[in-house]
């Protein structure tokens, strides 16, 4: 973390909090797209929703970290925002104060594991990316049709490339753009 950011947090709040919140809200909005649950078979459950938020957060964090300096700072603030939202959500679900910290740590550890798996999948073969999706997105369902796996693999690769093309200035202002989710089980995307 940069010294200016540390001082900003001490005396006036984090100047990256507003753009991080905007990006986080876009991530959550994208993760709530009905097609992921209907056409793509991601379980419409707490786990499934978390998995889609984690996937889209990974994609944005990957792009921000590639931007260096200020991008990396915004990436850290985005992670902080995500963790704060996990904490808030657990409290709203009635998890007691003693259990929240432990659960948030478990969720954060799982989130970082997903980041590593998706990164390896994007950098490696399609089989690695599919294995990561099978464990994470589809870990609580019996079997996912090959056409859905192909559509989701293509979606993740398309979104990673699309984010790489997004201007860092826009991201630093809190604006991120995602494409539409896959539309059906034929492997086609919209």
Region 86-99 average pLDDT:
68
State yes or no: pLDDT of 186 exceeds 50. Answer: no
Inter-residue contact 31 to 56 (CB < 8 Å): yes
Domain ranges of the chain: 3-167
State yes or no: pLDDT of 78 exceeds 90. Answer: yes
In the prediction, which pLDDT does 86 show? 76
Q: Which residue has the higher pLDDT, 90 or 43?
A: 43
Lowest mean pLDDT among 11-20, 24-33, 148-157: 11-20
Cβ density class 34-60: b for 16+ within 10 Å, e for less: ebbbebbbbbeeeebbbbbbbbbbbbb
In the prediction, which pLDDT does 103 show? 75
Q: Give the pTM.
A: 0.85
Q: Over the chain, what is the mean pLDDT?
A: 85
Inter-residue contact 15 to 8 (CB < 8 Å): yes
In the prediction, which pLDDT does 98 show? 63
In the prediction, which pLDDT does 190 show? 37
């Amino acid at each position: 973390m940069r010294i200016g950011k540390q001082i900003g947090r001490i005396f006036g709040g984090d100047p990256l909090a507003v753009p991080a919140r905007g990006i986080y809200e876009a991530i959550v909005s994208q993760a709530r797209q009905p097609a992921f649950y209907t056409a793509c078979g991601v379980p419409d459950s707490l786990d499934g929703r978390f998995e889609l938020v984690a996937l889209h957060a990974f994609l944005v964090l990957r792009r921000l970290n590639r931007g260096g300096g200020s991008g990396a700072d915004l990436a850290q603030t985005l992670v902080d925002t995500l963790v704060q939202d996990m904490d808030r959500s657990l409290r709203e679900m009635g998890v007691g104060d003693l259990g929240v910290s432990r659960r948030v740590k478990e969720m954060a550890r799982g989130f970082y594991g997903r980041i590593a798996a998706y990164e390896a999948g994007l950098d490696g073969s399609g089989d690695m990316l599919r294995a990561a999706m099978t464990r994470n997105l589809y870990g609580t369902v019996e079997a996912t049709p090959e056409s859905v796996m192909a559509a989701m693999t293509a979606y993740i690769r398309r979104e990673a490339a699309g984010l790489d093309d997004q201007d860092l200035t826009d991201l630093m202002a809190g604006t991120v753009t995602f494409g539409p989710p896959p539309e059906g089980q034929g492997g086609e995307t919209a």
